[in-house]
């Protein structure tokens, strides 16, 4: 498509020059990228440089990845403090403090040799969701718990599981038979084997997962219901290697 300028009343040059004049005015108004150090000094230093033993010092923050700091600002303990910050300010202070890159995916040895998940609805080992009963008392009857109060002091740690890069955990574990499902502040939903703690699969949600996971039957299969700090998910297991939820399959596979 071609255009032709038709001079009229001597205004052609005026109209041609006006956009140039406006563009020269707009250019200096473009803001420079925020300084991560300046954001830290203004918003963070009063606490993290205070020497208070309850607060991680700047040196400890510099040992974290950029992804971990960003996640903490967006969904973690610092979400209320960081709420006035713009997106570019959060990214800038995270880049100023953190180690470039994200957190490593779980190593292959962390995954179970047999990663199939078979849920037995008739199992007595059940804690499904926030409370196993409709009364929401969060009480486990003695016959289901399988131990008495006198046995509690003699319990020993069998295995422990850490959330890589997270500083806090919200989600309560859900247990059905030989499987444990739990979310993390980093937004990762994990399926673990109850007897060993090995990983069966993981799923990356949009934000931090605070809710307990609810497992519900769906025909011959099961669906996991949970909420992150952005919305709600339904997650269905299809094969040992994949699962699908809002946004499509995003399960991790063991490396190596």
pLDDT tens-digit readout, 142-180: 778 888 889 999 999 999 998 887 777 888 999 998 999
Is the per-residue pLDDT at 244 higher than 60?
A: no
Of 31, 57, 33, the closest CA to residue 44 belongs to 57
> What local confidence, expressed as pLDDT, does residue 249 receive?
39
> What local confidence, expressed as pLDDT, does residue 4 receive?
46
> What local confidence, expressed as pLDDT, does residue 30 receive?
63
Is the per-residue pLDDT at 254 higher than 80?
A: no
CA distance 198 to 112: 5
Summarize pLDDT for 80-94 with one digit per residue, the tens.
889 999 999 999 999
Is the per-residue pLDDT at 6 higher than 50?
A: no
Helix, strand, or coil (residue 28): helix
Sequence length of the chain is: 256
Summarize pLDDT for 216-227 with one digit per residue, the tens.
888 878 888 888
Tokens coding 155: 């319990």
Summarize pLDDT for 94-106 with one digit per residue, the tens.
999 999 877 778 8
Fold of 108-244: Thrombin, subunit H (2.40.10)
Lookup result for tokens 């009857």:
141
Is the per-residue pLDDT at 26 higher than 80?
A: no
3-state SS, one letter per residue, for 209-247: ECCCCEEEEECCEEEEEEEECCCEEEEEEEECCEEECCC
pTM strictly above 0.75: no
Q: Residue 136: which pLDDT band, with cuts at 50, 70 and 90?
A: confident
CA-to-CA dists, residue 141 to 12, 64, 124, angstroms: 88, 42, 11
**Higher-pLDDT residue of 11, 113:** 113
User: What are the structural domain ranges in the chain?
Assistant: 1-103, 108-244
Tokens coding 198: 């090995």
Which range (32-46, 58-72, 76-90, 160-174) has the least confidence?
160-174
Task: For the chain, give the percent of residues with pLDDT over 70.
Answer: 79
According to CATH, what is the number of the domain 1-103?
1.10.760
Is the per-residue pLDDT at 38 higher than 90?
A: yes
């Amino acid at each position: 498509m071609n255009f032709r300028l038709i001079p009229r009343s001597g205004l052609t040059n005026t109209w041609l020059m006006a956009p140039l004049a406006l563009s020269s005015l707009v250019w200096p108004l473009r803001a420079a990228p925020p300084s991560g150090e300046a954001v830290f000094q203004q918003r963070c230093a009063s606490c993290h440089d205070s020497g208070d033993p309850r607060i991680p010092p700047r040196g400890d923050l510099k040992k974290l990845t950029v992804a971990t700091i960003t996640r903490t600002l967006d969904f973690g303990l610092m979400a209320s403090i960081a709420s006035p910050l713009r997106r570019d300010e959060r990214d800038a202070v995270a880049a100023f403090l953190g180690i470039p890159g994200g957190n490593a995916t779980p190593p292959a040895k962390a995954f179970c040799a047999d990663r199939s998940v078979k849920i037995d609805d008739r199992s007595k080992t059940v804690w499904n969701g926030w409370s196993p009963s409709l009364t929401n008392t969060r009480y486990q009857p003695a016959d289901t718990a399988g131990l008495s109060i006198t046995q509690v002091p003699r319990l020993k740690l069998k295995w422990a599981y850490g959330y890589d890069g997270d500083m806090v955990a919200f989600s309560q574990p859900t247990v059905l038979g030989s499987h444990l499902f739990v979310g993390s502040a980093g937004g990762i939903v994990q399926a673990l084997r109850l007897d060993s703690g090995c990983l069966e699969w993981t799923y990356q949600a949009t934000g931090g997962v605070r809710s307990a996971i609810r497992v519900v039957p769906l025909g011959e299969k099961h669906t996991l219901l949970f909420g992150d700090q952005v919305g709600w998910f339904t997650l269905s297991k299809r094969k040992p290697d994949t699962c699908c939820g809002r946004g499509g399959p995003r399960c991790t596979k063991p490396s190596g």
